[in-house]
Structure 1
Amino acid sequence: MEDYIVSARKYRPMTFDSVVGQHALTTTLKNAVKSRKLAHAYLFCGPRGVGKTTCARIFAKAINCENPSEDGEACNACESCKAFNEQRSYNIFELDAASNNSVENIKSLMEQTRIPPQVGRYKVFIIDEVHMLSTAAFNAFLKTLEEPPAHVIFILATTEKHKILPTILSRCQIYDFERMTVGNTIAHLKTVADKEGITYEEEALAVIAEKADGGMRDALSIFDQAASFCQGNITYQKVIEDLNVLDADNYFQIVDDALQNKVSDIMLLFNNVLKKGFDGGNLVTGLAAHVRNVLMARDEQTLPLLETSQQQREKYHEQAKKCPVNFLYQALKVLNQCDINYKQSSNKRLLVELTLIQMAQITQPEDDTGAGRSPKRLKSLFKNLMKSQPTTAALQVAAAEKHAVSPRERTQPKPTETVVQASSPAVSATNTLEKAPTKPLSNVNIDTLGFTFRGHRAQVNRSEEPKTEQFEVDTTQERHFTQDQLETSWFAMLVRMPQELQVLATRLKNVTPRITEFPNIEIVLDNQIILTQVASIKPRIKATLAKELNNGQINIDWRVAQGAEVKKLLTKRESFEEMKKENPALARLCQTLNLDMS
């Protein structure tokens, strides 16, 4: 009985033409052999299992072949080719940099380069996994790599090109190997299966190719595993069972149910998937890939982007005919968002279920009021409430716009104007709206309001009283106020300023208004910049203070501080020391209790 050899070794390419999926690179190497225009150093880089080391061996054999063919292939008949095939060549050396990565190993290699080849033209050194060399070993390798003897050629291979020093990269011809396409992998697996006498289903080979993720060696290893499990008859059902892959029919079923808004069926299917031991994240990523494939299958131009079997491609195309484009776009969006949030979620199952529910409701009609099916119903109810029950704030803003046209003409509001009596709920809000301006709240210019810094909550609370809310300031009021009341109202106004004025409000908190000759107020600012920023809201500040102090006769004088009036900004400790100087009682208390700032 012959010893068993895995397919990855048994069917390893021996010529450039038998290398799968790297046509451009193999053509370049064959042309270099034909023209005898050989570089002194090559770097083969790319993902695992795509043929880097294999191509290095084929290239090394072709370089030393005594009678290469017209297309650059080795003859396999000369002494050099026979020696290589029988693994007894003294001109081709392979070094594993993962286990020989020290300076001493590189120095030993350099010693071997001095000896010319006994048979053939070149000594070829293949260094695999070259990125594993230490920095010191790379530096020791630099000079020889740049100017090797005429009879030496280096072929470096790596899966991690970014780990190699730029000084090494600049001395090599770089060849980037591509991942294997699903089509190329399926074709090669068919060839291997035919040679081994194994029957197969093309869908089963497509699953193996997708699982290999572009690596031919991985694909052949999985193929051997599936062939052993299936006992020479590789079927789709047995392959997904052996590889523990979620059946693609689940994805087709979910999309079909989502188009029909069958949330319950999708939830049951998801539960069955979890019972089989699959993770919810696998379902989300697989479903996202499926929806993407369906989207690609809608257009004949994008059909080549589907890396799958012909039978599976037809199924995608059939489902694409039933799916609206907007549904596919929205489904991809929600699935991608779920994939992003999946790792951070503490309740992963609920996250996936909500995502599937959202996906199932994309095509839900907006007027569908089925039991708990459409979240759009909440939006429609909200819109109806807004239409039938206008808020007090909207009416007040409309009234303010009307009054802002001519403040001097303000008199007691007429009953037909926008006066809202909270104590009379029977009043028709609809009739009131017809009499009030209907300009949307989002289009109101806040600068037209006589009083703007008072919060909406306070307005609503006061609207419970049976009186008319007015925004203008009554200039006939002359209520007396103290310096403390002025400072309190000033600070309260700054706290209520809108978000876009928070920076200016913070600066104004360091300013203290002073009563000069009642009711005149003087506000001294630190610099001209602040005065310029305040210019646009001076009327609003005056109206706010007049409202808070119940005095419409106040007059505010704004100016910039002169000389000694500019106050130094104190730290917290300096402020504390000033307080103790101004208040001896505080100083004695701190001394008695041994208090100090931390």
Structure 2
Amino acid sequence: MSDSHDLPSLDLPSLDLPSFDLGEPAQPARPEAYRVLARKYRPQTFAELIGQDAMVTTLGNAIKRGRLAHAFLLTGVRGVGKTSTARLIAKALNCIGPDGKGGPTIDPCGVCEPCRAIAEGRHIDVIEMDAASHTGVDDVREIIDASRYAAVSARFKIYIIDEVHMLSKNAFNALLKTLEEPPAHVKFLFATTEVNKVPVTVLSRCQRFDLRRISAEMLAAHFARVSEAEGVEAEPEALGLIARAAEGSARDGLSILDQAIAHAGIEGGGVKAGAVRDMLGLSDRGAVRDLLGLLLAGDGLGALGALRRQYDLGVDPQAVLRALLETVHGVTLVKLGTPPEAGQANEEREAQQGWASALSFAALHRLWQLLLKGHDEVARAALPIEACEMALLRVVHASQLPDPGELARQLAAGGPVPVAAPAAGPAAPASAPAASAEPALPGTIEEIIAAIERSGEFGLAVKLERSASVIRLAPPELVLSAARPLPADLVRDLTVELKNCTGRAWKVTTEDAPGAPTIKERRGEARAGLRADILASPVVKAAFEAFPEAVLPEEELDRLIAAQSKM
């Protein structure tokens, strides 16, 4: 018998039951988070680090020769690459190459595990710390304790401390001994924007690198490459404006470029100079040139109207004065003969050349001081636009005054003081020489010096009196002797100033041959001869015999020489 507990097997058909696994609904692919340009284009190699060639060369030589410091201090203004440089140094010291057998190199591969981990900020042996939020001595003690242990996977254990100047005094003191004699496997990389706040005891234990401000030309070229990589068209003038606004900081410039690209919109046609000016609140260069022309022409109403038009467009009054200062500085550089700025518009170059030929150095310096004073006043004023108007009116008034040197000579002579009339036309400088009046060219070195003194260039006149030994003078040609040392800039300055004084182009050259005595030498010879004549006269001889300790007053001798020269 079968066991009563055994149940017969049932052959049941298979059933297709519905699945009740709800699961998660299909999710749309998440778009990649946008990274700002300043992070996206952070340099990943020393070749991408712009404007710091001297530091890269020094580091490269140190790595090749195995002369690596145990602590580096990187200082400079914001955004020049201090933290990026620290990470690049960490890469350079810990790179093992694509095959895993490489050593320290100034050109890290970027593909090995240490390079990728450091670039992504996840390497266990490269510790970054912000001293602004870890200022205490306890934070430093943690570093000291951890530095005793060898690196886990890297060649060197590296501590990157940003804004190190914010550590407390006790924290610095706790770090000193370890910083002076760290373990062989430890490197310290400090970054700061205020190196003057770092104790001297710390500075003396570090190899210091001063990262320079990046030039506007380099920044503009860098921004052009970034714009091309982003597929964005950008006008060279717009990139130049962004580069100047960045003030030497690559990070600041990339942030402004990011904003400018967003400002341009999807169908905005790229980054335009006008849009950048509007975005930054800058004054249009053409409007600045027009305003400067009105100021030099003495047109007060026109100048105030031009200022108000800029103000109504949203331009800050202080920005207007800053743009005027930049223009005056550019005119002065042109007058000195410096090469034109890269990317400068033809209109601006021509305007600056015109003002440079029409205005003397004295007039440009006076204009600079007036605008600079106005800029400082507007920065502190409760009513900025009103203060700016008053500053511009002061410039207009000063443009109609005579040169200070000429004014002093007129007052000394007791004659009437001339008042310069405003120049005709809004763009003509007030001190432009009249095209129809061409004065006779000076025929002696004394006449040349007198003409230069009348233009207010007293320093140049003194140099000529002391150093100018004339070989030949046939206006408008002057040949000076180079047999004795001449000031380095004498020939250049004299050529420029003679053209300003006479309205004619002069050819001033030197020859290695003796020339006539300088005016100073002639005065010395006259002085010595007059002294000898005076001392040889019977009356003076008798006076010195009666009073052996008597002396001939130098001022009396000068008076006699001057009287003799007028006879």
TM, length-normalised to structure 1: 0.58
- Aligned position for 1:51: 81
CA contact (8 A) 1:204 1:239 kept: yes
Give secondary structure in 2 for the equivalent of 1:234. coil
Greater RCO, CA 8 A, separation 6+: 2
Counterparts of 2:205 and 2:389 in 1: how far apart (Å)? 55
Looking at CA atoms only, which structure, 1 or 2, has the larger radius of gyration?
Answer: 1
Distance change in 2, residues 1:310/1:54 (3 Å)? farther
Would the alpha carbon gap of residues 253 and 218 (structure 1) be closer, same or farther in structure 2, given more than 3 Å must change? same
Q: What letter matches 2:222 in structure 1?
A: H
Residue of 268, 277, 281 corresponding to 1:244: 281
Does residue 359 in structure 1 map to residue 359 in structure 2? no
Q: Which moved more, 1:238-247 or 1:162-171?
A: 238-247
Matched, 1:28 2:58: yes
Assess, with a 3 A threshold, how the Cα gap between structure 1 residues 107 and 83 changes in structure 2: closer, same or farther: same
Structure 1 residues not aligned, in runs of 5+? 367-375, 387-598
Runs (4 or more) in structure 1 with deviation over 6 Å come to 383-386
Deviation at 1:174, TM superposition (A): 0.8
The code of the aligned residue for 1:274 comes to Y
Shift of 1:88: 3.4
CA-to-aligned-CA distance 1:70-110 (integer Å, 9 cap, x gap): 97211234343243345432221111111111111111111
Write the letter of the residue equivalent to 1:57. Answer: R
Alpha-carbon distance between aligned partners in 1 of 2:367 and 2:310, rounded to the nearest angstrom: 20
Deviation (angstroms), 1:273: 2.6
- Alignment match, 2:152: 118
Between the aligned partners of 1:169 and 1:212, the Cα distance in structure 2 is: 29
Shift of 1:340: 4.1
Give per-residue Cα distances to partners, 1:462-498, cap 9 Å, x unaligned: xxxxxxxxxxxxxxxxxxxxxxxxxxxxxxxxxxxxx
**Maintained 8 Å contact 2:80/2:214:** yes
Which residue, out of 233, 252, 255, partners 1:221? 255
Aligned to 2:349: 314
Change in Cα spacing, 1:317 to 1:340, as seen in structure 2 (3 Å) is closer
Say if 2:282 and 2:320, in contact at 8 Å, map to a contact too.
Answer: no
Aligned to 1:283: 320
CA-based RMSD: 3.0
The residue correspondences of 1:144-543 to structure 2 (distance < 5 A) are 144-231=178-265, 233-300=270-337, 302-303=338-339, 306=341, 309=344, 314-315=349-350, 317-321=352-356, 323-325=358-360, 326-342=362-378, 349=385, 351-364=387-400
Relative to structure 1, is the Cα distance of residues 50 and 316 closer, same or farther in structure 2, using a 3 angstrom cutoff?
farther
1:71-150 to 2 correspondence within 5 Å? 72-150=106-184
| 1:444-475 deviation per Cα after TM superposition (whole angstroms, max 9, x unaligned) | xxxxxxxxxxxxxxxxxxxxxxxxxxxxxxxx
- Distance in structure 2 (CA, Å) of the matches to 1:359 and 1:314: 23
Cα distance change of structure 1 residues 266 and 86 upon mapping to structure 2, 3 Å threshold? closer
> TM-score scaled by structure 2?
0.61
1:3 to 33, 55, 79: 33
Deviation at 1:350, TM superposition (A): 5.2
CA deviations on 1:226-257 (whole Å, 9 max, x unpaired) are 00111261001111112222222222112222
In 2, the alpha carbon distance for the partners of 1:111 and 1:312 equals 65
CA distance 1:84–1:271, change in 2 (3 Å): closer
SS at match of 2:96: coil
Q: 2 CA distance for matches of 1:253 and 1:51?
A: 39
Which digits, 9 at most, give the CA deviation of each residue in 1:32-84, with x for residues without a partner? Answer: 22222111111001100000000110111111122458972112343432433
- Aligned residue for 2:187, secondary structure, equals strand
State the Cα distance separating 1:361 from its structure 2 match.
4.7
2:121 and 2:381 map into 1 onto residues whose CA distance is 55
User: Given that residues 282 and 319 in structure 2 are in contact (C-alpha distance below 8 angstroms), is that contact kept between their aligned partners in structure 1?
Assistant: no
Change (3 A) 1:75 1:44: same
Q: Is the Cα contact below 8 Å between 2:165 and 2:197 reproduced in 1?
A: yes
2:104 and 2:188 map into 1 onto residues whose CA distance is: 24
Structure 1's 190 and 69: CA in aligned 2 closer, same or farther, altered over 3 A?
farther
In 2, Cα distance between the equivalents of 1:86 and 1:347? 50
Report how far residue 291 of structure 1 moved.
Answer: 0.8
From the superposition, tell whether residues 210 and 153 of structure 1 become closer, same or farther in structure 2 (CA, over 3 Å): same
- The residue aligned with 2:4 is none
- SS of the aligned residue for 2:74 comes to strand
Change (3 A) 1:264 1:55: same
1:96-140 superposed Cα distances (whole Å, 9 cap, x missing partner):
111111111111111111111233321111111111111111111
Amino acid at match of 2:349: E
Name 2:46's counterpart in structure 1: 16
Q: Using the TM superposition, give the Cα deviation of residue 365 of structure 1 relative to its aligned residue in structure 2, in angstroms.
A: 7.9
Kept in 1: contact 2:92–2:105 (CA 8 A):
no
Q: Distance in 2 between matches of 1:313 and 1:108?
A: 59
- Deviation of 1:169 after TM superposition, in Å, equals 0.8
Deviation per CA, 1:325-372, whole angstroms, max 9, x where unpaired?
Answer: 243222112212323444566765555334323433555486xxxxxx
Q: Distance in 1 between matches of 2:384 and 2:280?
A: 24
Identical amino acids, percent of aligned pairs: 35
CA distance in 2, matches of 1:172, 1:60: 16
* Aligned-partner SS, 1:303: coil
Give deviations 1:160-199, integer Å, cap 9, x for gaps: 1111111111111111111111101100000000111111
- Show the 5 A alignment for 1:535-574: none
Aligned residues of 1:259 and 1:323 also touching (Cα < 8 A): no
* Number of aligned positions between the proteins: 373
The amino acid across from 1:141 in the alignment is L
Give the whole-Å Cα distance in 1 for the aligned partners of 2:318 and 2:308.
13
**Secondary structure at the counterpart of residue 89 of structure 1:** coil
> Secondary structure of the residue that 1:199 maps to in structure 2?
coil
1:87, 1:350 → 2: CA distance?
52
Shift of 1:159: 0.7
